[in-house]
Amino acid sequence: MCQLLGMNCNTPTDILFSFEGFHRRGGLTDHHADGWGIAFFEGRGCRLLLDDRSSVESPVAHLVRNYPIKSENVIAHIRKATQGEVNLANTHPFMREMWGKYWIFAHNGDLKDFTVAPGQYYRPVGSTDSERAFCHLLEKLRTRWDTQPELDELFAAVQEEADTLATHGTFNFILSNGDILLAHCSTQLHYIVRQAPFTKAHLVDDDVTVDFSSVTTPYDRVAVIATQPLTDNEAWTPFASGQLMLFRDGAPLLSTMMDAGA
Amino acid sequence: MCQLLGMNCNTPTDILFSFEGFHRRGGLTDHHADGWGIAFFEGRGCRLLLDDRSSVESPVAHLVRNYPIKSENVIAHIRKATQGEVNLANTHPFMREMWGKYWIFAHNGDLKDFTVAPGQYYRPVGSTDSERAFCHLLEKLRTRWDTQPELDELFAAVQEEADTLATHGTFNFILSNGDILLAHCSTQLHYIVRQAPFTKAHLVDDDVTVDFSSVTTPYDRVAVIATQPLTDNEAWTPFASGQLMLFRDGAPLLSTMMDAGA
């Protein structure tokens, strides 16, 4: 299965520590060698770095590890191909413009028998179920609104479309427009919010520890979302199956209310 | 003024030699230190690398110079900001999807008093005249056709829109969908087609010579388009003002018929 990583912050933050552990899941500690990608929002702009090689041997990953790009919203993905061959057009994250902003999407899972007619506004370029789902989701949102609606309306619409798409299979995804970050879980997704008082964190995949108190201010707040927890000494919260969360400024703002028994 | 560079080939080719001279125009031999970007098509996919720093000091430029990405269509741009502040959202080239393909656009010039209502299909994210012109051009094409038309029809429509946009100011641009590359000149643009028998070329901006005969096959054909000639020992052809050319497989396929007196 693919690996997802998202970060949403209240101040531009580099993702070097999380990426250090995450990128090792691309062919070293795990078997996800079918390409990878990372998108960094910087203001309204977006820097999208893609590689169809394993993230361990990628020169682009080397760049990311050595170039501390600061961003308030980041989405990264390591691919284990299930549908669509291994090539650049099929490499996540995918980017489209909607309502005058860039939207970035990465998916973990497999949607079976999911085909739709070409959209008016959004059409896939590659051959993955993931890009088809992304285009379909944006098409539904764009058809409903000509400009971006209020966040609670947007949240409800994404939940509705995610519920429908998830009937085709596994649909864990992260979606961002550089302001908000939406994360949906079908099977596996975890998050953590780091804020003052900051402590030390130790990576699962590598013997690396960072003392966040030395690199933050008391006002910083950072939400990290990942398929599996990236650190082994912090309390990550698992998403429930079917749960959608909307993060802004480093904290959850909206979440699906799950039944007590879920 | 900004600098444009385009390459269209019949076989995937690296752009290292041309980029070596070109990137030096970003703050070293010329004064274009307001960011730069380069897009490489690989099949249907596209690798878009942007940086809002000068290309001479950019770690992303360092990556490009040391990582021979092979591509059949490349567009690069070094920015001298005229409209819109220096940030990532205003950095060329710009990318959108149309008719199920990615389209990449870079502009050299300045369009005055050019504003349009938000499009149905395409809207700018940043604040440059260039991205507005790109979105407007795609909007006109997408409104006219639901799927990609024949190349001669597409060429005529781009010419028509380019003529109109050029009434607002200087509109040199390069546009590609990974298959064809279109180049339009208002004031300054040159091209060269390299094919067998290949010879040696020497950069204007740097004391570097490459012997293309040692790195090509007799079947290779490469068209390079640039604001100013990049080499000082080859015959570059200047575009006429108002001329649009469409390149495919490393050669001109369609061109505006210019009056003898033009």
pLDDT at A1: 63
CA A243 to chain centre: 15
Which of A44, A48, A96 has its CB closest to that of B89? A44
In a domain, A262, yes or no: no
**Residue B252 contacts A, CB cutoff 8 Å:** no
With cut-offs at 50, 70 and 90, classify the pLDDT of residue A262. Answer: very low
> Would you please indicate which residues of B are annotated as catalytic (active-site) residues?
2
Domain housing A44: 3-255
Who has greater pLDDT, B40 or A25?
B40
Q: Which of B62, B66, B87, B125 is most worth mutating to test chain A (most A CB atoms within 10 A of its CB)? A: B125
In a domain, A211, yes or no: yes
pLDDT at B26: 60
pLDDT at B37 over 50: yes
Give the separation between CA A178 and CA A241, rounded to whole angstroms.
25
Strands, E assignment, chain A: 3-14, 36-42, 45-51, 70-78, 94-98, 101-111, 169-176, 180-184, 190-195, 200-202, 209-211, 221-226, 237-238, 244-248, 251-255
From A51's Cα to the closest Cα of chain B, the distance in A is 8
Tell me the mean pLDDT in the region A215-220: 88
pLDDT at B262: 45
**Residue A99 contacts B, CB cutoff 8 Å:** yes
With cut-offs at 50, 70 and 90, classify the pLDDT of residue B69. Answer: confident
Q: Report the CATH number at residue B108.
A: 3.60.20.10
For residue A127, the one-letter residue type is S
From B46's Cα to the closest Cα of chain A, the distance in A is 7
pLDDT at A34 over 90: no
CB spacing of A89 vs B47 below 8 angstroms: no
Give the separation between CA A117 and CA A139, rounded to whole angstroms.
11
In a domain, A45, yes or no: yes
In a domain, B172, yes or no: yes
Alpha helix locations (H) across B9-86? 16-23, 59-66
From B138's Cα to the closest Cα of chain A, the distance in A is 12
Taken in order B8, B194, B71, B35, the sign of the CA dihedral is negative
Give one word for A169, left, alpha or beta, with left for phi > 0 and alpha for psi -120 to 50: left
State the DSSP H helix or E strand holding residue B136, giving kind and residue range, or none if neither.
helix B129-144
**Residue A117 contacts B, CB cutoff 8 Å:** no
CB spacing of A59 vs B60 below 8 angstroms: no
With cut-offs at 50, 70 and 90, classify the pLDDT of residue B27. Answer: low
Task: Please name the residues in contact with B67: beta carbons below 8 A apart, sequence gap of 6 or more.
Answer: A59, A60
From A149's Cα to the closest Cα of chain B, the distance in A is 16
**Residue B101 contacts A, CB cutoff 8 Å:** yes
Q: pLDDT per residue over B194-226, tens digit each?
A: 998 888 888 887 777 888 888 888 899 999 999
Give the separation between CA B63 and CA A47, rounded to whole angstroms.
15
Task: Please name the residues in contact with A259: beta carbons below 8 A apart, sequence gap of 6 or more.
Answer: none
Check if A2 is active-site: yes
What is A160-223 written as a DSSP string?
Answer: HHHHHHGGGEEEEEEEE-SSEEEEE-SS--EEEEEESSP-EEEBSSSS-EEEGGGT--TT-EEE
**Residue B55 contacts A, CB cutoff 8 Å:** no
Burial readout A194-233 (b: 16 or more C-beta within 10 A, e: otherwise): bbeebeebebebeeeebebeeebeeebbbbbbbbbbbbee
In a domain, B262, yes or no: no
With cut-offs at 50, 70 and 90, classify the pLDDT of residue A32. Answer: low
pLDDT at A216 over 90: no
CB spacing of B47 vs A88 below 8 angstroms: yes
> Contacts of residue A100 in chain B, CB cutoff 8 Å?
118, 123-125
Q: Please state which of the ranges A107-111, B51-55, B182-186 shows the lowest mean pLDDT.
A: B51-55
pLDDT at A55: 61
Q: What does the mean pLDDT of chain A come to?
A: 89
In this structure, what token pair is assigned to residue A72?
């308030």
Q: pLDDT per residue over A112-140, tens digit each?
A: 889 988 899 999 999 999 999 999 999 99
Which of B91, B101, B125 has its CB closest to that of A97? B125
In this structure, what token pair is assigned to residue A246?
């909307």
Which of A48, A118, A122 has its CB closest to that of B48? A48
Query: Taking the CA atoms of chain B, what radius of gyration do you get in angstroms?
Result: 17
> Which of A44-48, B11-15, B174-178 has the highest average model confidence (pLDDT)?
B174-178
**Residue A110 contacts B, CB cutoff 8 Å:** no
Whole-number Cα distances in Å, A46 to A179, B6, B103:
12, 22, 17
In a domain, B260, yes or no: no
Q: What does the mean pLDDT of chain B come to?
A: 89
State the DSSP H helix or E strand holding residue B169, giving kind and residue range, or none if neither.
strand B169-176
In a domain, A261, yes or no: no
pLDDT at B151 over 90: yes
Give the separation between CA B4 and CA B175, rounded to whole angstroms.
11
pLDDT at B125 over 90: yes
Q: Are B130 and B1 in contact (CB under 8 A)?
A: no
Q: pLDDT per residue over A158-206, tens digit each?
A: 999 999 999 999 999 999 999 999 999 999 999 999 998 888 888 887 7
Query: Which of A3, A48, A46, A39 has the alpha carbon at shortest distance from A21?
Result: A3
**Residue A67 contacts B, CB cutoff 8 Å:** yes
Give the separation between CA B115 and CA A53, rounded to whole angstroms.
42
> Contacts of residue A118 in chain B, CB cutoff 8 Å?
100
Tell me the mean pLDDT in the region A65-93: 86
pLDDT at B260 over 60: no
Query: Which of A161, A111, A164 has the alpha carbon at shortest distance from A140?
Result: A161
From B90's Cα to the closest Cα of chain A, the distance in A is 7
Q: Are B238 and B189 in contact (CB under 8 A)?
A: yes
pLDDT at A79 over 70: yes
pLDDT at A82 over 50: yes
Cis peptide before A252 (omega within 30 of 0): no
In this structure, what token pair is assigned to residue B35?
């960011």
Q: Are B59 and B24 in contact (CB under 8 A)?
A: no
pLDDT at B261 over 60: no
Give the separation between CA A65 and CA A69, rounded to whole angstroms.
9
CB spacing of A124 vs B42 below 8 angstroms: no
State the pTM of this model. 0.94
**Residue A16 contacts B, CB cutoff 8 Å:** no
Give the separation between CA B177 and CA A117, rounded to whole angstroms.
22
Instruction: Give the A:B interface size as CB pairs under 8 Å.
Output: 89
Overall domain count for chain A: 1
Give the separation between CA A232 and CA B116, rounded to whole angstroms.
53
Task: Please name the residues in contact with A193: beta carbons below 8 A apart, sequence gap of 6 or more.
Answer: A221, A222, A223, A250, A251, A252
CB spacing of B90 vs A45 below 8 angstroms: yes
Who has greater pLDDT, B152 or B207?
B152
